[in-house]
Amino acid sequence: MDWLVVTSPENFERTRQRGFTVQGFKEHHRRRVERLADGDRLAYYLTGLGCFSGTTIVSSGLFEERSRIWHSPGHPDEVYPWRVRVVGDLAPPLSLCPQAKDLVADLRFVRKWPAPHWRLAFQGMLRELPAADFDMIRDELGKKVQR
């Protein structure tokens, strides 16, 4: 299965600093995170920057860990306890990341919302993605990595 992880640039950099080996999710996302399985693919969307920043592949099931890695503005006690191990795939420098606004017309999952409100598709921390959407995002990221 393919997924979109919506996160801040700072939290994505924390994942990068850990070598793209683990991804954490907020407390209230447990049920959705339980659906992640070995081999699932994650694409990352960065809030604020409005871009796709990388892809990873899930390499474990859910586990609980409460060490502080990620930060949630306005919620200093949030520790992103529900985690999966991941393997890094693609992650160009943030300055080269493809902008979502340039891809939304072709992304299937965005069609649930009226075109002027496409940004609603990028709310919530974890969303299922059609495989074709993941492949398109990954292809665009791959073009940036090859530069």
* Tens digits of residue pLDDT in 40-93: 999 999 999 999 999 999 999 999 999 999 998 788 888 999 999 999 999 999
Is 27 among the domain residues?
yes
pLDDT tier at 147 (50, 70, 90 boundaries)? low
Q: How many helices (H) and strands (E) does the chain have?
A: 3, 7
- Tell me how far CA of residue 98 lies from CA of 10, 37, 140, in angstroms: 17, 27, 7
Question: Which residues, 6+ apart, have CB-to-CB distance to 58 below 8 Å?
Answer: 23, 36, 37, 38, 39, 40, 41, 42, 84, 85, 86
For residue 31, is pLDDT > 60?
yes
For residue 82, give its domain range: 2-141
CATH (domain of 135):
3.10.590.10
Tell me whether residue 147 is in a domain.
no
Render pLDDT for 92-113 as a digit per residue (tens, 0 to 9): 999 999 999 999 999 999 999 9
- Judge whether 113 lies within some domain: yes
Return the residue matching tokens 């990954």. Answer: 138
Tally of domains within the chain: 1
| Domain-embedded: residue 108 | yes
Instruction: Report if residue 9 sits inside a domain.
Output: yes
User: Residue 146: inside a domain, yes or no?
Assistant: no
Q: Is residue 45 part of a domain?
A: yes
Percent of the chain topping pLDDT 90: 90
